[in-house]
Structure 1
Amino acid sequence: MDASDIRLSHTMQMHLTRYLNQITKDIGHMLDTIANKDCCILNEFEKVHFLFSDLQMTAASYYLNSYLSPFTDRYQELSIAIRHLSERKHGALIVIQRETSLEPVITKGTVVGANLSYPLLESIFYPGSPLHDGAVLIKKNSIVSAGNVLPLSQSVTQDQSFGTRHRAALGLSEVSDALVLIVSEETGKASFTLDGKLYPINPGGIF
């Protein structure tokens, strides 16, 4: 499944249309400002940038739900965990296996073999936990293992400011169809990778 296979709901269509109409309005105001030779448009640039960023996160969160739903019905647990981890700036790396087996491309960590729940995910990624630096592997509704090591991306250039977690998430998504959720411990921002691409998401409204 890719983005072309997913139909937007009526509610999401209305939401995105409202965002785009506001962006169009703001750009029109910027054009009027320039025409009037008033060059103080930095605030307008910032506003449009914010709206575009929020629009991207909203759309990415919607598609994330669609990507996950065929492979796990515990995505509400994932949503809560990502939100809590983001609020606390606890770094996390969560791999959801889809069609392709990941055994050939990851270095196995510690077997967990437990039902997927947000308290367990949060405890694994609690700072100082023996397993918090590695990746959690999820298959269907189970946490299979933790502390897994993922292949680092070979396509990230030196001028791209990606940390190890993001490089690992991108690396795995470049060699498999896995979906990887990331929370940055520096910023608390959440994102996911799929097919070698990184998408920011809104941790307060992922699903």
Structure 2
Amino acid sequence: MNNANCDFSPMKQQFSIKINEIINGLQHSLEVLGNENYCLLGNLESIKEKFIKMESVASSFYLNCYLSAYTDKFEDLSTSVQWLSKRHYGALIVVERCDPLDSLIQKGTPIKAILTPSLLETIFFLGNPLHDGAVLIRGNQIISAANVLPLTTKVISERKLGTRHRAALGLTEQSDALVLVVSEETGKISFAINGKLYPINTA
């Protein structure tokens, strides 16, 4: 993965502070563990929330790093998924990287147009006949829409995943593609890469 366009220094400094806060919280929990009047649950919940927030912020940072090497439209992509998220419009967006995807995707409707936020948002507008499938992006172009992706065959026990998330995992298990997902139910944004799913900070 090409991260040459990314400056990691500010994020490392920010994460160093956050990790030290978590360490201090765990140390405090150890110190009061013998106190029967102290309940660990609140402190553990706070530490868990800090971990989740850190993962979300890191995912947002790395997402732009991963995308910028393969499309100049990564800022337009970010704008679009935020817009879709706010309106709870489900979306599945595939960014082709080094591996050709033609043999892995059941082809949908050709688009072959320059990627713009308005075009991407229109495709996933509720009621549009193309909104249920995946959009394929190659470079700065939307190649096609309403594509069908292979679903993951892994048993995922820790949480219930919808078809979009399972499709994102399925394609990234078989290729180096990056797949953005917007949940129709929650509006939450995540991306899949290398067969793993990461939440995105929507703040």
Q: Secondary structure at 1:47's aligned position in 2? A: helix
What is the aligned partner in structure 1 of residue 111 from structure 2?
112
Contact 1:156–1:167 (Cα < 8 Å) also in 2: no
Q: Normalization by structure 1: what TM-score?
A: 0.91
Q: What is the correspondence of 1:1-207 to structure 2 with a 5 Å cutoff?
A: 1=1, 9-157=8-156, 160-204=159-203
CA contact (8 A) 2:114 2:140 kept: yes
One-letter amino acid matched to 1:28? Q
Distance change >3 Å, CA 2–CA 30, structure 1 → 2: farther
Deviation at 1:28, TM superposition (A): 2.1
> CA offset at residue 170 of structure 1?
0.5
Q: Distance in 2 between matches of 1:136 and 1:62?
A: 23
* Identical amino acids, percent of aligned pairs: 48
Which is worse superposed, 153-162 or 52-61? 153-162
- Pairwise CA RMSD: 1.9
**1:82 and 1:203 in contact (8 A); partners too:** no
Q: What is the distance in 2 between the residues matched to 1:137 and 1:158?
A: 29
Q: Contact (CA 8 Å) 2:2, 2:65: kept in 1 or not?
A: no
TM-score by length of 2: 0.93
Q: Which amino acid aligns with 2:184?
A: E
Letter in 2 for 1:186: E
- Residues 21/163 of structure 1: CA separation in 2 closer, same or farther (3 Å cut): same
Q: How many equivalent residue pairs?
A: 203
